[in-house]
Amino acid sequence: MKFSLEWLKYFLDTDAGVADIAAALNRIGHEVEGIEDPAEKLEGFRVAKVLTAAKHPDADKLQVLTVDTGEGDPLQVVCGAPNARAGMKGVLGLPGAVVPANGMELRRSAIRGVESNGMMCSVRELELGEEHDGIIELPEDAPVGQTFAEYHDASPIFDVAITPNRPDCMGVEGIARDLAAAGLGTFKPVEASAIETSGPCPIEIRTDDPEGCPAFYGRVVRGVDNTKPSPEWMQRRLIAAGQRPISALVDATNYLMLAFGRPAHVYDLAKLSGAVVARRARNGETVEALNEKTYTLDDTMTVIADDNGVHDIAGIMGGEHSGATQGTTDVLLEIAYFNPERIGVTGRKLGLASDARTRFERGVDPEYLDDGLAILTSLITKTCGGEPTEVVRAGTPPTEALKIEFDPDLTERLGGLAVPQDEQRAILTSLDFEVSDDWTVTCPPRRHDIEGPADLVEEVVRIHGIDEVESTPLPRRPGVALPTATPLQQAERKLRRAAAARGLNEAITWSFLPTAEAEHFADGAQLWVLDNPISEDMKAMRPSLIPGLLSAAKRNADRGSDGARLFEIGRRYFRGANGASDEKPTLGVVLSGEKTARGWSNGKGAKFDAYDAKAEAVALLESAGAPVGNLMVMGEAGEQFHPGQSATLRLGPKNVLARFGALHPNTLKAFDIDGPVVAVEIFLDAIPAKKGGGGFARATYAPPALQDVTRDFAFLVPAELPAGDLVKAVRGADKKAIVDARVFDVFAGQGVPEGHKSVAVEVVLRPGEKTFTDEEIKAISDKIVANAAKQGAELRG
């Protein structure tokens, strides 16, 4: 949210400077994201007077002006504005100044052969509004020679991040109230002035949806003139907030929203027919909103409608048909209280965001209907004239105040600060809480974030100063500290380092997914679907880490990346027994694009395949402490994977430690990503804990005293036999002497019987206390051949 210092001082009497205000805002929980000084943009522009204006000798639409800048001789300036004339005062940009609207640096130049020393500026060129038909005309008393920044009172602008739990600070007034409570000045509330009315409201106003719209107030103002611009002070404040001035009527509603956090709406009365009603939309009804888009509604949404149909998506955006124009003369002013949850659901369904929705779905002040309508009426009648009618009040806003029994000693117990009771009472009172003698605290209805005593402690602590909380070290037992990380946390740290060492890049993706993507990876499990999600694209808790990594890989590919090597350690979420949350710690890997770039030695390069996925899975499982030598390679990786290029790694038939392989073309199509893409998912909770673990073990390394012995074996095996099964059988022949075995060649073709393949295995033998004898090596070799024979293998001659 943006606001100017000048606007803040309308609600806050303070002498504090920009730096002090920014520090106070950060201190009380309103993070200052930036401070902008418009005076810097206006450097080089000053108030000037046109002394003479003569026609340009070589251009029909240009004039040659002599301009008094208040310093030295008058300057000659070429100007094309139709309103430029002798005697007027305007704004001159001197050579060296930069025009805010387009970044153009002004220089002395010749225009059609006539020298020009700067430029007389329009409102649009200085980003002060949208007018550009002529140059700025200043009042007669404008001091010639004064810098325009000083004359215009260009006030610094704060950009503040308001947390979702503080809708009461979505207006400048709320910010001022908090700063006053923090001791930065005196709060100046704006009292709504009495409105003289011309009689009863001529139009029926009612709410037929008390759940979605508990209160709907309105009045008519006849005889307004919307051709006049809004006041300069109003436009200046709106521009500071990043709001473009539109018309006097619309600017008044925007001002009310930004100043007081209270959205309202203006309807052209001539475009309404019959009663104006807050009701549920009918399934299939449509409305063209002010953003010129048409939305299809359903019966869960609240709308404002008349006899002819829908005019407003309640609390989110008005309709194009009934909006005020320059020709509008009679208006209906509407201010209402809408159910925050219903506003949020409607906005997400329609994918429609607006400033009004931001405030309504967080909860506006339900007590500010009458005052808000009175202030809006006053703003409009002072600018546009008109005669207001009496107010029609339909429904009742939920204004019952929450009462909390508060113990002031709780502040020290929860917040760590010993704040005197008198100061606590003063802080809460300054924030508009009512505190009785027995410490019963009555909360203002606009403070939707206050639910119990702990929230009141937070209010006291943040205003008193959270920096005052004393830093106290945690108690520690003497001697060596006990480990604080759990075995799972230690495993995750090892995996994170191992994955990074293997060239993978860590990604952190959302724990939420679109429902369709979540269902694609659910494998029949019951999903966690949120009732009130951030958006429709974040509705289901993820049952797998792969969808988020796929989306990240796609974003990289869309931006020209040749490939992605991503991993993430996180949680999968399912519904457990009796609806309880079931979280599964998991590591996911996605490899896409090029494994090796094309070159003169390898032609087109290489893509990732299922063997790359298996290599990552085995290496990472080994880093996590899994007994990779005992793993079984089996199928059934899931329908998301290619059935002929994927598998699972298991300890026994049922304990699945990981799945890996190439993703199915249907999966790639669902995520709109080009293949091939391979993925790994390691289920950390399935990895068995080491026996006897639980303490720190001193790392030791004892190199073997004797040299290893290697022997090569070539076996004829059935073509369908997995090489891993053969290697496992070879390893099991003598678990003490055989320390490693690996496949180094696979061949099928001439010399190999049909239906078979030749698999060559290198075996590493490690002697113990003495070197192997030939007889011992032969005995081990015989065991290897015998074990291999059990898998259908035959030693080649």
Tell me the C-alpha to C-alpha distance, in Å, between residue 48 and each of 43, 146, 158.
14, 8, 30
Cα angle 118-123-129, degrees, rounded to a multiple of 5: 150
Which residue type sits at 796? R
Is 740 among the annotated ligand-binding positions? no
Among 283, 676, 680, 669, residue whose Cα is nearest residue 498: 680
CB 454 within 8 A of CB 443: no
Among 84, 234, 222, 221, residue whose Cα is nearest residue 172: 234
* Residue 503 DSSP label: T
* Residue 161 DSSP label: E
Q: How far apart are CA 774 and CA 745, in angstroms?
A: 26
Bridge-based pairing state of the strands 505-506 and 563-575 = parallel
133-137 long-range Cβ contacts below 8 angstroms, 24+ apart: 133/82, 133/83, 134/81, 134/82, 134/83, 134/84, 135/79, 135/81, 135/83, 135/84, 135/90, 135/91, 136/90, 136/91, 137/83, 137/88, 137/89, 137/90
* Residue 538 DSSP label: G
676: preceding bond cis by omega (within 30 degrees): yes
Is 208 among the annotated ligand-binding positions? no
User: SS3 string of 184-203?
Assistant: CCEECCCCCCCCCCCCCCCC
Helix (H) or strand (E) holding 513: strand 512-513
- Residue partners of 177: CB distance under 8 A and separation at least 6: 11, 187, 430, 431, 432
- Residue partners of 12: CB distance under 8 A and separation at least 6: 176, 179, 180, 184, 185, 186, 187, 188
Strands (E) across 338-486 are located at 387-388, 392-395, 403-405, 434-435, 440-442
Q: Is the dihedral of CA 714, 719, 723, 726 positive or negative?
A: negative
Q: Which two tokens stand for residue 646?
A: 């994927």
Q: How far apart are CA 792 and CA 94, in angstroms?
A: 93
CB 540 within 8 A of CB 525: no
Which residue type sits at 775? E
Q: How far apart are CA 786 and CA 732, in angstroms?
A: 11
Q: How far apart are CA 314 and CA 211, in angstroms?
A: 13
Is 458 among the annotated ligand-binding positions? yes
Q: How far apart are CA 328 and CA 745, in angstroms?
A: 86
Is 459 among the annotated ligand-binding positions? yes
Q: How far apart are CA 655 and CA 621, in angstroms?
A: 14
The secondary structure of 463-500 as a DSSP string is: HH-GGGSPP-PPP--SSSPPP-S-HHHHHHHHHHHHHH
**Residue written as token pair 């790694």:** 649
CB 381 within 8 A of CB 388: yes
* Phi, psi dihedrals of residue 787, rounded to the nearest 5°: -65, -40
Q: Exposed e or buried b for every residue in 680-697, given b needs 16+ CB within 10 A?
A: bbbbbebbeeeeeeeeee
User: SS3 string of 223-263?
Assistant: CCCCCCCCCHHHHHHHHHCCCCCCCHHHHHHHHHHHHHCCC
Q: How far apart are CA 792 and CA 794, in angstroms?
A: 7
Output the known binding site. 449, 455, 458-459
Binding-site residue numbers for Mg(2+) are 449, 455, 458-459
